[in-house]
Amino acid sequence: MAEKKLSGQTALVTGANSGIGEGVAISLGEAGANVVVNYVVNPDAANAVVDRIKAAGGNAVAIQADVSKEDQVISMFQQAVQQFGTIDILVNNAGLQRDAKFHEMTLAQWQLVIDINLTGQFLCAREAVREFLRRGMVADRSVALGKIICMSSVHELIPWGGHANYATSKGGIKMLMQSLAQEYGGQKIRVNSICPGAIKTPINKSAWDTPEAYNSLMTLIPYNRIGVPEDIGKLAVFLASDDSDYITGASIFIDGGMTVFEGFSTGG
């Protein structure tokens, strides 16, 4: 059985009823954390994640909130603290795409992506920091006051035509994450980003669900396989645990080498 590195801690994972968030919630639960499984739609999928964590001997609860709505985020954190006493780990994962050519992009497409992917991370991180500061250090639980993990993307580095709203949201997450790491490092709050490449989830189904699409995707990935949510879950456990205590303000790319730009392997 895996060592329970997060025993006695509580993690809140946004958008945890699908894809990467689901994988991260399950990994954190397996590592011993109580898990708040946030969802906005599809409570059945959220309850299935809760059931899976409980079946493995963990503790979890599903809480509905739209991360882009201030009142709902505040209420979610209040419910979580009521349930588990505090929050030690926030995984800011919820996100979506609304793709369009830039000159055809509507303000609604732009605003929705910024509201959920970027403002949602601001609202959740602010409540998490408030809770870390309110609670104070607890001996023997973690050497950090709290940990925030932002789900960014290789697109905080790689520009992405046809997805300007999404790439902009991820570029913004990079500066949000680093500013928080700088502002709260002295109070022992660690803030880092996970930057996935292509992970097999519903958000990018069209990039992997036919052999043609999959083969085309592989031309971008030196390691020659698509990622899976468990890959991200293992990294999230590491970043949430004291094993990574000297890591803060970092963007960690987990992408099978996508950001070494394979197209240049033969001279460009």
**Among all residues, which ones are annotated catalytic?**
166
CB of 157 to ligand NAD, least distance (A): 11
CA end-to-end span of the chain: 46
Tell me: does residue 14 bind ligand NAD (CB under 6 A).
yes
Which region among 47-55, 87-95, 131-139, 240-248 touches ligand NAD (by CB under 6 A)?
A: 87-95
Single out the residue of 20, 11, 16, 14 nearest to residue 153, CA to CA.
20
Show Cβ contacts of residue 204 under 8 Å, excluding neighbours closer than 6 positions.
198
The residue (of 16 and 144) whose beta carbon lies closer to ligand NAD is 16
For residues 22-81, which are near ligand NAD according to CB under 6 A? 38, 40-41, 66-68
Total residues contacting ligand NAD by CB under 6 A comes to 27
Q: Tokens for 34?
A: 């109580």
Rounded-to-integer distance, Cα 186 and Cα 199, Å: 34
For residues 221-250, which are near ligand NAD according to CB under 6 A? none
The residue (of 7 and 210) whose beta carbon lies closer to ligand NAD is 210
**What does each C-alpha distance from 252 to 16, 121, 169 come to in angstroms?**
20, 17, 17
Q: Which one of residues 76, 124, 198, 220 is an interface residue with ligand NAD (CB under 6 A)?
A: 198
- 199-223 burial, b for 16+ CB within 10 Å, e for fewer? bbbebbeeebeeeeeeeebbebbee
261 CB-side CA count, 13 A: 8
**What does each C-alpha distance from 161 to 41, 79, 178, 244 come to in angstroms?**
29, 40, 25, 34
Tell me: does residue 196 bind ligand NAD (CB under 6 A).
yes
Q: Which one of residues 29, 32, 58, 95 is an interface residue with ligand NAD (CB under 6 A)?
A: 95
Binding mask 135-154 for ligand NAD (x = CB under 6 A): ----------------x-x-
The residue (of 4 and 214) whose beta carbon lies closer to ligand NAD is 214
Binding site for ligand NAD (CB under 6 A): 14-15, 17-21, 38, 40-41, 66-68, 93-96, 116, 151, 153, 196, 198-199, 201-204
